[in-house]
Structure formats: structure tokens, C-alpha cells
Structure 1
Amino acid sequence: MNVQAHLFVSLGTAPAIVPEAFLLPGARFVSVHVLTTERPDVTLIREFFRRHAPGVNLTITRVAGFQDLKSEEDHFRFEEVMFRWFLASRTGPEQRFVCLTGGFKTMSAAMQKAATVLGAAEVFHVLADDCCVGPQGRLMPPSTLEEILWARDQGHLHWIRLGPERGWPQLRRIAPEQFPLQVVEEKGDERRVQAEDRAFGTFLQDLLQRASRIAGAWEMLPELPFADLATWSEGELAWLREPLDPRAPADQRWVAGLPKIELHCHLGGFATHGELLRRVRNAAENPGKLPPLEEPRLPEGWPLPAQPIPLAEYMKLGNANGTALLRDPGCLREQCRLLYRHLVDQGVCYAEVRCSPANYAEVRSPWDVLADIRAAFQECMEGARTAPGGLPACHVNLILIATRRASGDYRAAIARHLALAVTAAEHWRDENACRVVGVDLAGYEDEKTRAHYFREEFTAVHRCGLAVTVHAGENDDAEGIWRAVFDLNARRLGHALSLGQSRELLRSVADRGIGVELCPYANLQIKGFRLDGSDRAGPADPRHEAHAPGPYPLLDYLREGVRVTVNTDNIGISAASLTDNLLLAARLCPGLTRLDLLHLQRHALETAFCTATQRLTLLRRISSGIPRP
């Protein structure tokens, strides 16, 4: 493949430099770009190309209003124009031949810098012997066209090839429109230009500082949750290592501004009270069939009650929503839309929403209900493509819930939901769209409903590549977690509050990279944990008094290498957003640092049920979006 060659030359007071550079042995240039000030006479240059290279496109660019280089400010002004001049040529690094000889030494330095960062096929100098007789009989370099050609033929011109410059990879996709060169006047082959600011130079300096900081933080990279943090200053990194103050407005704003991932969020537990509930009801297609509006009364002090409440009582707080309401298609779609807006407002860029389509199917089939849920979220995603690259502000995938119960033939319902999940995963395959990515074994948890009882039902789920998460260790001991890990091959564990009861199991969960989905508000409301270092009462449910919780396990899990995450569980019932849960985690675990919170987000990214391509996209988005202090 023949690559067209383009010559770039800066010009001072010696116009002979341009034709001498053009005569570079072995080069066949299709265009010549000359950058100079207002002063130099370019008659000789024009005459050379008219007589000896008429087919070559000659462009002479002058920096408007620029007479001479007299100060540092002059240099940077000229350099800014030079960078943009290179970009405006719309040539690639493999096409550029850059001559460093012309102009002041600072011009040569700027040309070398531009070639280094933007790339060049060849960088070279040209030297001419003192071989021609000057006006006073002294030998001088060639200065006329005839002398230049004679010097070339007699071997008095010397080209010093310095080799190619690869250019910085960060700059390869920069377009001229990003740093435009303003044309003040244009006439024939000559134009006068200027740069309105020093934006490219500033951008370049920022890249240099980032590179320097990365080099300085090289040994710390394995300890940082996101590589972009290596570009932060030492002071900023020290700030990240300080404990988060959940009551400080600055830290509250910082947590609110974090790009987040939500892995444990129940659709039916949203919009359970207040205005959101009324908006869901107002969207009903059949309002006459809705149950009466009776909002459950929240316990005193909610969402931080003085005493925890049993799980059954906690779930009753969502009775005004859930199955009774979401059987109406209009209510169901509005619930999805409102939840999506909430996630976007919270800075959530990826969420896995859990739902039970069969529970919402009264007249319609579970498949139709699931298709409706997916379509509602997909419509929201299509309407919110505000992220870089046209990505949705928040990508939502679905997890179908298989619910255990204390009694009855609930295994048939579990089988139906698992079959629905397998069918949906086969039907919706586009990773850029909302799709079913996993199943959740949830519901009543005790020694009689542990995961190993459902091993056969989950065979098809595993064979089809669906991911599995299991509610385990919330109201059962470590044995329930053991069964979820080793019998159902769970990739994530819901709550897993009793994981610390077995040191061996904890190490196995950490070593296998299994995610743990903690939900601070729900855990506090149901189990009771020490808040801000003070004592709280143990569980209200007498069946679990023997397992009264000690310190909240999040910090211990982090220190043991467990991929622990923070989530919401039921946003409406718990009356707490993901931001609220992250801030509460700092109250439950005094000493939790800002860097720890970033590790939580990295764990969520690593354990999300998404594709490798999505994970990489999310990694870049989160890494670049972390607010600085």
C-alpha cells in the first residue's frame, strides 16, 4: 500500500530551508505545509515549486499578527498554532515528514514536540555546507534556486534522519474540530491563522501530568480499584484513604455523584408509599379493579427504627404495592418507568432488577408480563441515551425470582419461573438491550428450604449459562450459605450476614470471587446492628435470638478479600436509595474510607451478570466519572 507523503516545515528567515527539505532523498511529497510568522519573504519558495514541482500542493500558513518570537508567551502562542496546524492537515502519522531545521531554536523544539505527540513517519534535519560565494567573497550556504540544486548535486546538502515518531495513542483519534485553527484571511496558497486559546497545550500538559502520576503510582496500581485513580495527585489519594464522614455535606455530595452499580433491587419493593405509590395507581388501565389504597404504617423512626422488625413484618410494609397492584399493566409499566428515573437520578449506570412475572399474571401469561417489564425498561433506556457513545444513562437487566415458602407446593412455582428465565434468556440475546441475565432463589430461608433441595430444578439454568444468586445467610446460619455455594454454584449471595460464622467458608467465598450483596438499610431494619458505634437491640424475632448480630460484617468482608457490594433491596419499603445505603454503610462501619466505597463499586462491576464487553464499558465509565475532592 502506497502512503502519500506530506512535508511539514517551519520557516524563519532562510527560505532555502523549504526546497532543501523537499529534496530529501527517496521522498516523493504530494504536499508541502509551511508554517511561519508575518515577516518572511516566500518568493523563492513559490518560484521553486512553480519551476521544479508544479504538481505539489504548497500551503503557506502565517500566524496572524505574529512578527517575531520575543518571549515565552510568544513561544506558546506559536506552539498552539503549530499543534492545530498539524491537526488541520488531516494527515496521519504515517504520512508526515517533519523537518526541524527552519526558524528559531524554539520553533525546532516545538516541531519536535508536535512530531513526538502527534506522530510522524520521519523526523529529519537538513544541513547545507558553506559552498557558495557570497557578496563579499565569503563562502555561504546556498540561497538561490540554482545554488540549492547545485549543492544537492555536488553533495553539499546533508539530511540527518532521526527516524519515526509513533505519537501518543491518546491523541490518535483527536479531530481538527476539537481544536480548530481559525483562518483570519486566505488568498491563493497563503493563509493567516490564529488559535483563540491554548486549549491543546493545556490538554497536552494534563496528559503529561497524568502520565507522570501513573509512573509515580505504578507500584500502587494493584491496590487501586480503578486505574484512573493513579492519575490523581498524592493529596487526592490521601483524601480517598481517609474515613468517609456520612454526616458531612461534602461527603454526601461526593457519594451522590459517584457512578454506581445496583445488583440487588426488587421491582415490587419500589413505590410502596406516598406520591410514587399514587402515581403508580393513577397509571392503572383498570382502576376499578385496584385494591383500596391502604398504606402500611411505618414503624417509629423509620427508616432507622429503634428496634428491628421481623422479616415477615418488613415485607408487609410493601403490601400497598407488589402483586395486588402490579397485575394491572398500566401500574406495572409506570412502576418500571419510575424506578428507572430513580436509578438515573441516583447515578446508577447499571442495575439488575429482580421481578416475579408469574406473580403479576392474573389474566395475562407470565411471558406477556415479563415482555411488558422488559419493554418498559427498554423504552426508558432508549429515551435516556445521554451517556458517552450514545449509551443509556442506566442499563437495566432483569433477574427472575424463584421464591421459597414456608409451606405449600411452592416448588412448582419455582420450576415455572426457572423455565421462564431459560426461555427469556434464549429469546432476548442482544447484550445492548434489556434482557434476563440470571435467577434469584429468594423467599423463606431456613434449614428446610436450603439451596440443595433445588439442585435438580436449577440444572437447566446452569446449562443455558444463566447466572445464579441466592438469598442465603440472612435468616439462616452459615450452612445455608454453604449449600448455595457448593450445591447451586451461586455466583452471588444475597445478604450472607452469617458468612463470618465459618472461617473456611469465608475464605472459599473470597477465593472463588463470589459476590456478596449487602443491603445496609434492610439489614439494619430486620436484624439490628450497632450504628455509629452504639449498641442496638438484637433481632425482634425470638427464633433468631441465638444469632443476635455483632458488628456489621461489611468491613470484615472487605478486609478478607470478599467481593462485597452495597445495594438497596427494597427501595420503597426501606425508604432508602443506593446513596443512602452507601452512607449508612459508613455509619455501620466506622472507619470505612472513601477508597473502600470505590472498592465496593469495583466489586459490583466484577460480579455483575453482564458480558465482558459491557463490563469494560462500565469500567471506563465509572473510572472516568469518580468525582475529585
Structure 2
Amino acid sequence: MSDILVTTLGTSWQIVPELLGFTNPNLVDLYARHPKRDEIAETRRSADIRPVEEVWMVTTKGEKTDTPIQNLLAWHRLFGGGGRLPVLRIWQVAGAGDLASEEECRQMGECIFRVVLHAAERCADGHLLISLAGGRKTMSSDIQNAAVFFGCHALIHVIQNDDYAKKLWGQEAAFFLEPLPEDLKDAVTPLVAGRHERNPAADLGDESGRVISRDRYPLEMPAASEPLETAVAGAGLMEEVQERSRRASFLFCNQANRLMGEETGTNFLALYNLRPSLVRRLKTQRIGVDPAREDDELVWLQRLPKAELHCHLGGVADPAEILEIAEANRLALERCRDRWGPYVKEWRRLAEGEAGEGIDFKVLRQAVPGVPEPLCTAAFVLAFEDRADLLEQIIYGTFRHEDAFCGVGFKAYEKAGDLQGSGLLQSEASLRAACRILCRKAAKHNVRHLEVRCSPMNYGKGGLDPAEVVRVIDAELAAEGGPASYALIFTASRHGIMSKVYENIELAERLLGGDGSGFRSLRGFDLAGSEEAARPEQMREAFMPMMRRCLRLTIHAGETSSAESIWEAVYHLNAERIGHGLTLKENPVLLDKFRDRDIAIEMCPSSNVQIVGFRDNFLQATRRREPYPLKEYLERGLRVTVNTDNPGISRTDFTRELHRAARLTEGGLTLWEILLLVRNGFKASFAPRGRRQELLREAEKEIIQLIQERLQ
């Protein structure tokens, strides 16, 4: 990494000490006595001006510049060498002595542009500083134009006080080894005139795919402190810069078309018009590979706008939040303490034995006669309010360790949720608390659209009417602090009795009303549970009322069953989205149909790993497991989305799921692929079309700002 200062040079060699007095005060603090020295220091700090390692100068060839150059080199030698002394490189343009003709000016301009191009590429990871002081006005104009096109960290100028500046011109070299004397302390004042980002047109491929580079426009490099007489034929670089500036919009369109042609899925459209260097970084910078970088990667991922499409209300809470939900029932608990109080000590004793294996949490729900649900469960949970760590141990056991919570199967995974879901969400207080927790998490992780899955018929055991359950959930999601956009998806279970499925469907019909417009928050219907319990083909008749209403359908399929289950969900139930879809790769023809029909896949990395088991870049014990199919699906052009499933049970959040998706991919995921997953989430949402387009535009704008902050 190099920091380089480029300047033009006329007959006044003193401009170099004046510039270095600003950029390299460690070499000579020329402005130590300046009345505005504090402002100069603040300018240096705020513009992040660091001492330069090299000074590149472009000047004419002739008697008028030969003597000033020798004076400059004499001054440079007075420092006696040392590591902090910048290297001087000097180009003298042959045949451009007085810049008196158009041809001389063209040769000078071409050399200036090439010097700035080479300097910009040489210090790509450093700072390029461009001086506007020195030389003829045409030289200053050329170097400024080059700085604007190729970019620079800072444009530096030196303002002269005409009453004193001429006194500096006649000074000997030794004069500039010390701060300016008291009588000349403000003869000159350095300032930063701005900075410029590199013009994207410099990196856009032309019709032949060529970009501007120093390989195409070579330049002989002078040895240190040895002026090089150079002749640059023609004005090819200057002319190409002018032509690219004129045709920039065409070149951008050409880039966008080329990028889209290389891809199987379309990303946020604004990304295709970013500078090529930014696009390259997005396509090459990977996450999910190095555990040491995880925290930094999570910070950036957390700021990304997100759409969450597969989140079950019954699995949102972690142990601390389960305590919070139980606490919401405190008043109701106090009213019947005399009934459940005597049981608590025994519950705790059983729970503490063998990591909670001594108690069945489902039996616990109705353990005390006369105590309605969910109060027994809430009382049990609150028995550990002083030992949240013990409650966590009871819930998860060995699953607290990430490498142990892998491939445990659906039954063991589901058991980790027995103290929430239908065990705890049987009161209005519990439902409101769970929704507030979910909204809080969504806000923390910048979830802009949230689709919540629930089974209202399962939450009525405490006396709530199922329709009231839905209204409570809807009210909390719509309250201040809720997501900008949300939708409810009713979930029917395969492994329950069919009457329960019909009850959920009848409830949906009742809420939607005759014309389907009665309850606008209900946007979809889901079928979940063990795939072996009931095939989609068997559920078609029950789902017909939802199909007739054109309610959008998402079906759990291909999580633990074969691709046949996915086929049935699509062809018997007309699923627009598939939850999990892990076995879709078994049927390549069906996979192609997903791509052709834009059927989205709701992948849930953490729960997929925990239930099925896949290879994880961060977990050595998983190296023999199968690779996660997400990257293969992306490469085949499928609309893959990333979701949390049950964030509380899976010990995850909306940000970590994106990172887990990268961890489950060999070599990680690029930032470009992460952004594609984010866009897919919005595109596949069940939000109304107009709202969906609005969400996409808002997300795109925010993402461009985040990219510029991270990668500029």
C-alpha cells in the first residue's frame, strides 16, 4: 500500500516543500508558526491525509525548469536520506518546453493523464493525493480533469499571500528545512479542495470488453531523484477518457446487460449500475469462511433490510423470552396460586433430574385440576426465574452446544419447543407478549416484511375464541414498533386429526368473508408437520376452499421426505412456495419446473442443520455430512430465500440465518449472493404486488447506501 502525491511543476520548485509541509509534517513542519496552524492540522486530520511515500512530478523540458529541478533535488538531499524521506520521481515532457502550441499542450496533457492513471493503480489500497498548485494553468486543468476521472483521496491546493509569497521564491534550499519564519509564517496556506471517487466509466468494458488500464497506456518509470525525459506519442488516453465520459450511459447499459447475461437469477437492479470495481468486490468478497471474521460480518448483515417468510409464532422465544411470556400471566397465576403452588417444588425437582427428562412438558400443561392453560406451564417456567441458565439447560440439554445440535431429527427438535408454542400461548397475555418479542427481534435485525405462521385453533384452550386469537396477533403486529409490512399465514398440521385442518380452513373462510376482503392481513395458508403423516394428495379436497379463494399457499415439503412430497405439494396443492425443499435436487426435472415457474424455496439453515444435519464450515465434526443444497439451487436459478423457522428453538435470529447459509456453503457465500437471497425474500413475499414493489425499492435504496459505506 502506497500513498502518492502527484503534482505538476513550473519554475517554482518551492511548491514541493510547501505541499510536503502539509502532507508530511514529520519531515518538515513548515506551518508550525502559521496563525491557522490548528485549522491546518484539523484539515489534515479530517481529510485523513497521511505522510506520502512518493512525490510524482510532471514538468516541461528546458532551461526554465532544469534549474528549479536541481534546486529541488538539492533541498531533498539536505535531509540526508532516511526512511521517512519521500521518493521523488520526475517526468520532463520532451518537446513541450513553453507549452506554446496545441501539440505541446496535448503531449503534456497525455503525460499528466498517464502519470495519474499509473499512480491511481499503484496506490489502489492507499491514498492518491493530487496537487492543483504548480505549473501553467493548462497543466493544472489537465491534472484536475485526470483527478476527477481516475479519482483521488484529496485535491490539495496552496494559496499564496501575494504580499509575502514572492519572498519565498528566492530562498535557498536550506530555508525550507525549518518552519517558516515569523515574518513569512502565513505567506502560503495549504487547503483541501475536495476529493473524487473514481469515475465508473474508467472500469466499464467497451464493445471489446477493454477497460482503461496502465497496461494499455504504458509509462516509463523514472528512477528515484533522476529526472526522466519522456515523449508520449499521441493523445490516446485523453481521447479515450473524453469518449468514455460522453458515452458513459451506453457503457453502463452494456455492463448491466453483460452481468445479467452471466447470471441465473436477477439481483437488485441498481447493483448492475455500480462501479465495476464495486461489483467485483461484491462478487469476490465472501463470508461464512473464517470464524475470526464472524462478528464483523454479522454487524453488516444485521443492517441489511430483510423479508422473513417462514417464522412460526410458536417457536420465537429463547429461554429468557419464555420467562418474559410466562411473566405476562403473573396476575392470572396469583389468582389460583393455592392450586398450583404445592406442585412447583416437585416440578422443579423432576425437571432438574437428568436435564429435565423426569417430566413431560406436554402433560404438565394440564397437571393441576381446575387450573386453565397455560397457567401450569407458566408457573413451571417462573419457578426458574432466578435460574434462567438452569431453564436453558432443561430445555436444550446437550443441544446448547452447536456441534451436538446437528441432525437430531424432527421429534427431538420439536421437543425443545414444548415450553412455548401451544404450551404457553393459550392466553391473550401470552400471545401479546410473544408478538411483542417477535416485533422487537424483527426491528433489531431490520426485518421490513414479516410473515408470521400460526395455528389459531391451537391457541384456544385457555378460553380464547380462535378468531379473537387472530385479532390479538394482528393488533400487536400492527402496533407501533411492529414491522413496516407483515402478513399472517395460517398453518394446518398433517399429524393432527383432519377435523382440525378443516377448522383452520373454516376459520380462514370466516375471517376473509364472502368476497375475500374481510381480513386483509391473512395472506396465505400452510401445511406443516411430519410429511409421513399425510401426503399432499390426501389434503387436496380440504384445501380446495383456499384455492377457490386464490389464497396463496406455502407447503412444508422435502424437509425429511423425498422429492415426491415436493412434487405433490406443487401439483396437488398448487403451492407457490415450498418450505425447506431439501430433497428437490433428487428430481432435476421438477427442479427445472421450479425455476420456470418462479416457485420459491423457503430454506431455514439452522433448523435444517439441527433436524437433518449438513456440513458446516465452522464445525469440524460435520465434515463428513452432506453439503447443504442452497448454493446448488442458486446456481440453477431457483428463487431461494433464507428464513428462521423457529428462531427461539433454533437459537438463531434473522441475521444469523443469512450467515449460517454462508457457513453451510463450501467456500462461503459472496456478498452478491447474500444480496440475491435478500432480494428473493422480498420478491417471493405474499405482500400485495404494489406493496411488494415498494418494499423492493426501499430495500434497494438502503442496500446501495450500505454498500457504499462498506466498500468505498
Contact 2:567–2:590 (Cα < 8 Å) also in 1: yes
Mapped to 1, the partners of 2:531 and 2:588 lie a distance apart of: 22
Contact 2:255–2:272 (Cα < 8 Å) also in 1: yes
Kindly provide the amino acid, as one letter, of the partner of residue 612 in structure 1. Answer: R
What is residue 89 of structure 2 aligned with on the other side? Answer: none
Residues 1:503 and 1:355: Cα distance change in structure 2 (over 3 Å): same
1:586 to 656, 662, 678: 662
Equivalent runs, 1:590-601 vs 2, <5 Å: 590-591=666-667, 592-601=669-678
What is residue 449 of structure 1 aligned with on the other side? Answer: 534
Once the two structures are TM-superposed, the CA of residue 212 in structure 1 deviates from its matched residue by 7.9
What is residue 500 of structure 2 aligned with on the other side? Answer: 413
Contact 1:308–1:537 (Cα < 8 Å) also in 2: no
SS of the counterpart of 1:528?
Answer: coil
Kindly provide the amino acid, as one letter, of the partner of residue 469 in structure 2. Answer: V
What is residue 283 of structure 1 aligned with on the other side? Answer: 328
1:300 to 398, 410, 421: 398
Kindly provide the amino acid, as one letter, of the partner of residue 278 in structure 1. Answer: L
Contact 2:267–2:675 (Cα < 8 Å) also in 1: yes
1:218 to 256, 263, 266: 256
What is residue 319 of structure 1 aligned with on the other side? Answer: 418
What is residue 489 of structure 2 aligned with on the other side? Answer: 399
Once the two structures are TM-superposed, the CA of residue 481 in structure 1 deviates from its matched residue by 0.6
1:255 aligns with 2:301: yes
What is residue 606 of structure 1 aligned with on the other side? Answer: 683
What is residue 329 of structure 1 aligned with on the other side? Answer: 428
Mapped to 2, the partners of 1:474 and 1:243 lie a distance apart of: 31
Once the two structures are TM-superposed, the CA of residue 493 in structure 1 deviates from its matched residue by 0.6
What is residue 471 of structure 2 aligned with on the other side? Answer: 371
Mapped to 1, the partners of 2:454 and 2:286 lie a distance apart of: 33
Mapped to 2, the partners of 1:259 and 1:620 lie a distance apart of: 11
What is residue 276 of structure 2 aligned with on the other side? Answer: 234
Kindly provide the amino acid, as one letter, of the partner of residue 435 in structure 1. Answer: S
Mapped to 2, the partners of 1:420 and 1:435 lie a distance apart of: 14
Mapped to 1, the partners of 2:618 and 2:478 lie a distance apart of: 43
Once the two structures are TM-superposed, the CA of residue 301 in structure 1 deviates from its matched residue by 5.7
Mapped to 2, the partners of 1:257 and 1:528 lie a distance apart of: 29
Once the two structures are TM-superposed, the CA of residue 549 in structure 1 deviates from its matched residue by 6.2
Kindly provide the amino acid, as one letter, of the partner of residue 455 in structure 2. Answer: S
Contact 2:403–2:621 (Cα < 8 Å) also in 1: no
SS of the counterpart of 1:217?
Answer: helix
Once the two structures are TM-superposed, the CA of residue 348 in structure 1 deviates from its matched residue by 0.6
1:482 aligns with 2:562: no
Mapped to 2, the partners of 1:428 and 1:346 lie a distance apart of: 36
Residues 1:485 and 1:549: Cα distance change in structure 2 (over 3 Å): farther
Once the two structures are TM-superposed, the CA of residue 622 in structure 1 deviates from its matched residue by 1.0
Residues 1:254 and 1:311: Cα distance change in structure 2 (over 3 Å): same
Mapped to 2, the partners of 1:430 and 1:476 lie a distance apart of: 36
Mapped to 2, the partners of 1:425 and 1:231 lie a distance apart of: 43
Residues 1:604 and 1:361: Cα distance change in structure 2 (over 3 Å): same
What is residue 569 of structure 1 aligned with on the other side? Answer: 645
SS of the counterpart of 1:582?
Answer: helix
Q: Could you report, residue by residue, the CA deviation over 1:550-585 in whole angstroms, capped at 9, with x for unpaired residues?
A: 210000000111111110000100010121111111
Unaligned 5+ segments in structure 2 are: 1-192, 201-244, 337-374, 382-390
Contact 1:425–1:435 (Cα < 8 Å) also in 2: no
Once the two structures are TM-superposed, the CA of residue 369 in structure 1 deviates from its matched residue by 0.9
Residues 1:571 and 1:213: Cα distance change in structure 2 (over 3 Å): farther
Kindly provide the amino acid, as one letter, of the partner of residue 437 in structure 1. Answer: R
Unaligned 5+ segments in structure 1 are: 1-197, 385-391, 539-547
Contact 1:428–1:435 (Cα < 8 Å) also in 2: no
Mapped to 1, the partners of 2:679 and 2:686 lie a distance apart of: 14
Residues 1:303 and 1:462: Cα distance change in structure 2 (over 3 Å): farther
Mapped to 2, the partners of 1:534 and 1:397 lie a distance apart of: 35
Once the two structures are TM-superposed, the CA of residue 468 in structure 1 deviates from its matched residue by 0.6
Contact 1:290–1:324 (Cα < 8 Å) also in 2: no
Equivalent runs, 1:74-113 vs 2, <5 Å: none
What is residue 593 of structure 2 aligned with on the other side? Answer: 508
SS of the counterpart of 1:326?
Answer: coil
Contact 2:450–2:483 (Cα < 8 Å) also in 1: no
Kindly provide the amino acid, as one letter, of the partner of residue 218 in structure 1. Answer: A
Residues 1:211 and 1:347: Cα distance change in structure 2 (over 3 Å): farther
Residues 1:332 and 1:438: Cα distance change in structure 2 (over 3 Å): same
Kindly provide the amino acid, as one letter, of the partner of residue 257 in structure 2. Answer: E
Kindly provide the amino acid, as one letter, of the partner of residue 401 in structure 1. Answer: T
Mapped to 1, the partners of 2:249 and 2:450 lie a distance apart of: 33
Kindly provide the amino acid, as one letter, of the partner of residue 525 in structure 2. Answer: V
Residues 1:220 and 1:252: Cα distance change in structure 2 (over 3 Å): farther
Mapped to 2, the partners of 1:337 and 1:505 lie a distance apart of: 40
Contact 1:272–1:319 (Cα < 8 Å) also in 2: no
What is residue 425 of structure 1 aligned with on the other side? Answer: 512
Contact 2:616–2:622 (Cα < 8 Å) also in 1: no
Kindly provide the amino acid, as one letter, of the partner of residue 279 in structure 1. Answer: E
Once the two structures are TM-superposed, the CA of residue 474 in structure 1 deviates from its matched residue by 0.7
What is residue 48 of structure 1 aligned with on the other side? Answer: none
1:355 aligns with 2:454: yes
SS of the counterpart of 2:637?
Answer: coil
Kindly provide the amino acid, as one letter, of the partner of residue 263 in structure 1. Answer: L
Contact 1:533–1:590 (Cα < 8 Å) also in 2: no
What is residue 88 of structure 1 aligned with on the other side? Answer: none
Q: Could you report, residue by residue, the CA deviation over 1:107-129 in whole angstroms, capped at 9, with x for unpaired residues?
A: xxxxxxxxxxxxxxxxxxxxxxx
Q: Could you report, residue by residue, the CA deviation over 1:305-354 in whole angstroms, capped at 9, with x for unpaired residues?
A: 33421211111111111112111111111110110111011111001010
What is residue 32 of structure 1 aligned with on the other side? Answer: none
SS of the counterpart of 2:380?
Answer: coil
SS of the counterpart of 1:298?
Answer: helix
2:635 to 549, 559, 562: 559
Equivalent runs, 1:62-211 vs 2, <5 Å: none
Residues 1:597 and 1:434: Cα distance change in structure 2 (over 3 Å): farther
- Equivalent pairs, count: 405
Mapped to 1, the partners of 2:585 and 2:400 lie a distance apart of: 28
Once the two structures are TM-superposed, the CA of residue 299 in structure 1 deviates from its matched residue by 4.0
Contact 2:403–2:619 (Cα < 8 Å) also in 1: no
1:462 aligns with 2:547: yes
1:271 to 308, 317, 320: 317
1:472 aligns with 2:557: yes
SS of the counterpart of 1:455?
Answer: helix
Mapped to 1, the partners of 2:521 and 2:528 lie a distance apart of: 20
Give TM-score scaled by structure 1 length: 0.60
What is residue 437 of structure 1 aligned with on the other side? Answer: 523
Kindly provide the amino acid, as one letter, of the partner of residue 356 in structure 1. Answer: S
Kindly provide the amino acid, as one letter, of the partner of residue 322 in structure 1. Answer: G
Contact 1:213–1:231 (Cα < 8 Å) also in 2: no
Mapped to 1, the partners of 2:554 and 2:620 lie a distance apart of: 32
Kindly provide the amino acid, as one letter, of the partner of residue 498 in structure 1. Answer: T
